[in-house]
Amino acid sequence: MTRPYIIQDPYFKKAKELWYRARSAFKLLEIQDKYKILQPRMKVLDVGAAPGSFLQVIAKIVGSSWMVVGIDIQKIDPNFGFPNIHLLQESVFEYDAIRAYIKTLGVEQFDCITSDIATSTTGITGVDQYKSIELNLAILDVAREFLRPGWTVILKVFVGEDILDLIHPIKAQYKKLSRMKPKSCRDRSFEEYFICQWKM
């Protein structure tokens, strides 16, 4: 039987050493180092949170007494060691279920929304990239309701020829759009992170 090929670059190994669930933790850490978006005493929503590496980074920064919520269609292992992480297994398109869950937590809005969301791939580049746009448009819909005015959304985007279908709605809703490809992204990847600050 042929074993699946797993890329084990320095970020993969470092994630294991530091007990992060995935190498993607370093992407958020790079974004944080440049933009200083996350702060202590914040309430943060992470969409597309599995396996939970963004949640680990966020929980350490905001502090153990502040709300961190992770949503993903996949089940996330709840054993983080942080009492302030709350998890919902649900699709980002299920707004009513998301709204109902957040209401049970006693939260009206978040200070930051992050995402490392990715869709299952078809191998057809254009199709996969447009699926990424659709997921991020759904996150923008969530942000319209649950992001506190004046604060920030971080999106992971697979950039392709249809990227303006996402950029136009962002610019209509947000004051500033910054784009970054962290060094911890794989060189061959089309992914970028969009840092969106809401218009007041």
Query: Would you name the residues annotated as active-site residues?
Result: 156
Q: What sections of 41-118 are H helices per DSSP?
A: 53-62, 95-104
Q: Are 117 and 48 in contact (CB under 8 A)?
A: yes
> Could you give the angle at the alpha carbon of 49 between the alpha carbons of 47 and 51, nearest 5°?
170
Question: How many CA atoms are closer than 13 Å to the CA of 9, on its beta-carbon side?
Answer: 11
CA distances from 135 to 29, 47, 115, 131, 140 (A): 23, 10, 10, 6, 9
The alpha carbon torsion through 89, 90, 91, 97 (nearest 10 deg) reads: -160
Integer-rounded Cα radius of gyration of the chain = 16
Pairing type for strands 110-115 and 147-158 reads parallel
Using a 10 angstrom Cβ sphere, with 0-12 exposed, 13-18 middle and 19 or more buried, the burial of residue 197 is middle
